[in-house]
Structure 1
């Protein structure tokens, strides 16, 4: 017995045809056809763009990168896996925020949780790069004092 994935045809190629092509109502195609990685990238980019819009260009230029998992050194002693990191600007290269998709997704139970964790990680990384407190950067940053 052969079990095929959902949305696959008998040749294993997936759905095809005009109902999946970009249209005026869905210029990027049908959202359901996004992979989990593409949906995560879009969410992370939307959070960073929202943060940059709030500061009208007063934040330093930032690049955003998404990696599947962090590469940890052999002498890593913490019991927690990092969710993100930042790379300071070097010469003409802007600062870079790196998100680790799989650990972030592992901590989120729903789409709302995923959006909250992505927001928290990006705000924390920007805070470390700029020296601005996370609560001052974004009003939706989770408050641990409650």
Structure 2
């Protein structure tokens, strides 16, 4: 689609939309997810935490009520995109990363957040 048409979106915008769609879907099933902030960054920081083996695809940050910070989930676009071949795989991996981070942040099993978690 040519960039002059309203429906045209960049790959980054498409990725952002996928994260938003997953977050909205989870929030419909679990109201506490509506209080979580979601963000997309291009790549993870170059200093991964010691407990993060391999390439980091996303991170979850627990809420800090005393500091007034809600729970936050960050999905790293380039590592996620580089592990997929098409939009179907991309959609599935984005969902996997978001569900995994939300479940870890909330102290629940991924299957409790999304029954279709693989």
Q: TM-score range by the shorter chain?
A: 0.7 to 0.9
Determine which structure has the larger helix proportion and give its number: 2
Once the two structures are superposed, residues 7-38 of structure 1 have per-residue CA deviations (whole angstroms, 9 ceiling, x without a partner) of 5xxxxxxx54xxx2xxxxxxxx21xx200000
Provide the rounded CA distance (Å) in 2 between the counterparts of 1:124 and 1:75.
Answer: 17
Q: Which has the larger radius of gyration?
A: 1
Provide the rounded CA distance (Å) in 2 between the counterparts of 1:40 and 1:111.
Answer: 10
Aligned residue pair count: 116
How many Å apart are 1:78 and its aligned residue? 6.9
Q: Which runs of 5 or more residues in structure 2 are unaligned?
A: none
Q: Is the 8 A contact 2:62 2:106 kept in 1?
A: no
How many Å apart are 1:48 and its aligned residue? 0.7
Which structure is richer in relative contact order (CA contacts within 8 A, separation 6 or more)? 2
Aligned to 2:77, which of 101, 118, 121? 101
Which structure 1 residue ranges, 4+ long, deviate > 4 Å from structure 2?
Answer: 74-79
Once the two structures are superposed, residues 94-143 of structure 1 have per-residue CA deviations (whole angstroms, 9 ceiling, x without a partner) of 1110000000001111111001100110011011111111012112211x
Aligned to 1:46: 21
Q: Assess, with a 3 A threshold, how the Cα gap between structure 1 residues 74 and 133 changes in structure 2: closer, same or farther.
A: closer
Provide the rounded CA distance (Å) in 1 between the counterparts of 2:42 and 2:102.
Answer: 20
CA RMSD of aligned residues (A): 2.4
Aligned to 1:68: 42
